[in-house]
Amino acid sequence: MSAHVLIAGAGPVGLISALVLGQAGVSVTVVEAADDLNRDMRASTFHPPTLDMLARFGLTPKLVEQGLVARYTQQRDRQDGVIAEFDLSLLKGHTDHPFRLQCEQWKLADLLKQELDRLPHVKLLFSTRMESVTQNSGKVTATVLTEGQSHPLKADYMIGADGAWSATRRALGIDFEGLTYPERFLVISTDFEYADHMTRLCYVNYCSDPQEWCVLLRVPSLWRVLFPTKASESDEEVITDQAVQARLQKLLPQPQVYNTVHRTLYKVHQRVAKSFLQGRIFLAGDAAHINNPLGGMGMNGGVHDAMNLTQKLLQVIQHGASLDLMDRYERQRRTIAIDYINASTARNKREIEERDPVVRKQVQAELHATCVDPIKALDYLRKSSMIEALERAQAIA
């Protein structure tokens, strides 16, 4: 009898896990509490190695058609303009896709669902909320709620890819260690064309400032502007028309009112689960680790988790490998979550918000010196594009 894997969460991490397993012939059931795929303006940057991974399924060309190829990223100062510009074409030979792709993550989820719909042994159950999970030496049993009725779902293994508030992680009693920043992040999407008004603007721009830093990211139809907020400001104050316009006008004064399409305010965390597995149940993506978005490593790191996890799980299911092999998944991906993803994103935040004028100038001088030196720039890009992290993970026995 073939194995059955239960997956909690129908975001990119859960769906790519289902696709890897499903295409290998494994029976999969994906449960999702929402009534459809999430179309919120969430992650929007795909790093080169993530594109390499998705190319295996024929997904990368389809994403490129729907996104923007970003050859350059910039570190800017809100007052002084460009400090450093990095050319990702330096990564040729290190990846098949030497660029970032600016494309909303829901487009990937749509493509994944299209692929899964072709696999009769993969089921997607929407409006299905996980209530509890138990396991023994041979099976996992999840109790789920559908249309007000609780019923059990049995599987041989389970993947919890159900986000930062993971019901799977909480059901297992696994601590989510780390911190929550006092400030929240405000993301405003606007159809205003910043590139017509800001010199040398590229698609990915990190703008440092001692008072209010920001990030300017282009997606195909909009600019997304990310600002920090003060802990003293209430949620209601932050998202008022007056407050939103004040932030946008301070960034780039314009005679007209900015047209805003989306506004999202969210808390920001740096947290890693104390364990990525328990018996036959495994955590991946935001269920296992969350970080601030400076560097675009959250969704990408989750996809990397999924690829690592499912490849090992297939060794167990189809090739008789010991379940102990999954311990290596935890050693590899938890190490990367702590030493690379959380460390890098925390450092990015410290540098972009630095207030000491001497330290700010030092950081900016180092960034400029790095970008004009091809060897240093390549090293920087291998880190920021997550290539180095994947190589480090692979080296962990």
Q: Which residue intervals of the chain are DSSP H helices?
A: 12-23, 48-55, 60-66, 105-116, 167-172, 235-238, 241-251, 298-319, 325-336, 343-352, 357-371, 374-384, 387-394
What's the pLDDT tens digit per position in 123-145? 999 999 999 999 998 999 999 99
Any bridge partners for residue 87, and if so which? 72
Predicted pLDDT at 42: 76
Is 380 within a domain?
Answer: no
In which domain, by residue range, is 48 found? 4-72+97-177+270-353
Is 134 within a domain?
Answer: yes
The model's confidence at residue 86, banded by pLDDT at 50, 70 and 90, is very high
Confidence check: pLDDT of 334 > 80: yes
pTM (two decimals): 0.96
| Residue 173: φ, ψ to 5° | 70, 30
Task: For residue 269, count other CB atoms closer than 10 A to its CB.
Answer: 18
Predicted pLDDT at 389: 96
- 97 is written with which tokens? 């896709």
- Of 121-125, 174-178, 281-285, 346-350, the one with minimum mean pLDDT is 346-350
* CA gap 159, 14 in Å, rounded: 8
Is 263 within a domain?
Answer: no
Q: Among candidates 103, 111, 106, which has minimal Cα distance to 39?
A: 106
What's the pLDDT tens digit per position in 52-64? 999 999 999 999 9
**Sign of torsion over alpha carbons 174, 178, 183, 185:** negative
Predicted pLDDT at 40: 78
Predicted pLDDT at 43: 85
Confidence check: pLDDT of 47 > 80: yes
Confidence check: pLDDT of 351 > 80: yes
Q: Which DSSP helix (H) or strand (E) runs through 30?
A: strand 27-31
* CA gap 44, 166 in Å, rounded: 22
Predicted pLDDT at 66: 97
* CA gap 42, 290 in Å, rounded: 13
| Residue 59: φ, ψ to 5° | -85, -30
* CA gap 29, 41 in Å, rounded: 26
Is 51 within a domain?
Answer: yes
- Of 29-33, 38-42, 116-120, 326-330, the one with minimum mean pLDDT is 38-42
Task: For residue 173, count other CB atoms closer than 10 A to its CB.
Answer: 9
Task: For residue 313, count other CB atoms closer than 10 A to its CB.
Answer: 27
Is 79 within a domain?
Answer: no
Query: Does 137 or 390 have the greater pLDDT score?
Result: 390
- DSSP character for 126? -
Q: Are 207 and 76 in contact (CB under 8 A)?
A: yes
Is 252 within a domain?
Answer: no
* CA gap 93, 338 in Å, rounded: 27
Is 219 within a domain?
Answer: no
The contacts of residue 180 (CB under 8 Å, 6+ apart) are: 267, 268, 269, 271
Task: For residue 373, count other CB atoms closer than 10 A to its CB.
Answer: 12
- CA 247 to chain centroid, in Å, comes to 26
* CA gap 345, 394 in Å, rounded: 21
CA angle, 163 then 169 then 173, to 5°: 155
Q: How many domains does the chain have?
A: 1
Q: Are 332 and 256 in contact (CB under 8 A)?
A: no
The contacts of residue 305 (CB under 8 Å, 6+ apart) are: 13, 284, 285, 288, 333
* CA gap 319, 153 in Å, rounded: 25
What's the pLDDT tens digit per position in 198-215? 999 999 999 999 999 999
The model's confidence at residue 70, banded by pLDDT at 50, 70 and 90, is very high
Is 115 within a domain?
Answer: yes
CATH of the domain at 115: 3.50.50.60
Average pLDDT (376-380) is: 98
The model's confidence at residue 1, banded by pLDDT at 50, 70 and 90, is low
The model's confidence at residue 270, banded by pLDDT at 50, 70 and 90, is very high
- 56 is written with which tokens? 């295996």
Q: Are 337 and 272 in contact (CB under 8 A)?
A: yes
Strand 260-273, strand 289-290: pairing: antiparallel
Q: Are 66 and 46 in contact (CB under 8 A)?
A: no
The model's confidence at residue 171, banded by pLDDT at 50, 70 and 90, is very high
Confidence check: pLDDT of 394 > 60: yes
Confidence check: pLDDT of 41 > 80: no
Average pLDDT (84-96) is: 98
